[in-house]
Amino acid sequence: MGFLEWAIDPWGLKVPIHIAWFLIWVSVIAGLAFFIVHATYLRYFAKPRKFASEIRPPAPSDIPERVPRHSQVARMFHWIMAAAMFTLLFTAFLPRVGVQFPWVTYHWIAGTVLTVSILFHIFHVSFWLDFWSIWPDRIDMTDAYNRVLRSIGRPAPLPRKFAKYPLENKLYHGAIMVAGLAAIATGVFMMFRVRTIFFTRNPYLFSDMTWGMIYVLHGLAGVGLIALIMVHIYFGVRPEKQPITKSMIFGWMSREFYLEEHDPKRWVVSPADAAPALEGSKRTK
Ligand code: HEM
């Protein structure tokens, strides 16, 4: 049983044509295994989280009651991207597991929506939001190291509270970015293989071998996204993460949650910051 499906091209050369579709189930099972292992660990083994105490914690009155977290534009992007992602996953994989329908047109339309929304997202975070807030920084790395030491019973300082995004979210964003960009970059070329409104169909743009590799990379990114999105939804519905999920709907999180999880020096929120729900939407960092 190979991981790829192969064919013989007109010149007798063996070329890959796409991934073997059993990898869909490998990804689904990996996602389910993650749920089970993580939920069991949290329920039976994890110790309560402890953070280093802040030298001078802010007075609650210094923090707005509703802390703005995602601007209206950022939320719209998230939900448009989510709709495109779901459409792409279902149109790509349902036909592979026996649900036949003319999927290609829906697929490339959703692919176009995803591509445009990601281009917009890159522009938006570069010029309007805090581009670096989603990349691991030095404190994240030191704290991660200390967390590992403490988990194996070695002495190490307590980690600080999180900046706007915990390290886990930053790492997840990195993984979904790699898989998403690979699916987009290959998908744009694959549009030359089918009839779309954008380009004249040209299946001879690349050699069979190059096309094969493009299809394989597209398929690998696609199956990777199944597990990644399952994990994302799992965290989104976990009770302790619901304040974060709600902030992606309403735009803000409560002062209590902010003070419990976030370091006000690493994610600075001033009393002047108005929560969208109270005083109309404002730019959030
Ligand atoms: C969640 C993201 C995506 C997933 C899971 C996904 C998955 C897939 C899969 C499994 C196939 C079948 C490929 C094969 O037969 O080997 C496919 C085909 C295709 N994908 Fe995607 N894809 C995604 C994103 C995109 C994007 C962003 C675009 C366009 C920008 C795109 C354009 C296409 C096109 C045009 C085909 C048809 C190729 C053909 O039939 O020859 N896809 N996709």
72-96: average pLDDT: 98
Span 121-130, pLDDT tens digits: 999 999 999 9
Percentage of the chain lying above the pLDDT 70 cut: 94
Q: Is there a contact between 104 and 81 (Cβ–Cβ < 8 Å)?
A: no
pLDDT of 239: 95
Q: Average model confidence (pLDDT) for the chain? A: 93
> Measuring from atom 36 of ligand 1, which residue has the nearest CA?
190
pLDDT of 50: 86
Span 96-154, pLDDT tens digits: 999 999 999 999 999 999 999 999 999 999 999 999 999 999 999 999 999 999 989 89
Measured over all CA atoms, what is the biggest interatomic distance in the chain, rounded to whole angstroms?
A: 75
Map tokens 């990601």 to a residue. Answer: 118
pTM score, whole prediction: 0.91
Helices (H) and strands (E) in the chain, counts: 9, 4
Q: In whole angstroms, what is the distance from residue 68 CA to residue 70 CA?
A: 6
Q: Is 169 left (phi over 0), alpha (psi -120 to 50) or beta?
A: alpha
Which residues approach ligand 1 with their CB closer than 6 A? 18, 85, 88-89, 92, 104, 107-108, 111-112, 114-115, 183-184, 187-188, 190-191, 193-194, 215, 218-219, 222, 225
pLDDT > 50? residue 284: no
- How many Å lie between the centroid of ligand 1 and the Cα of residue 238? 30
pLDDT of 271: 72
Span 154-199, pLDDT tens digits: 999 999 999 999 999 999 999 999 999 999 999 999 999 999 999 8
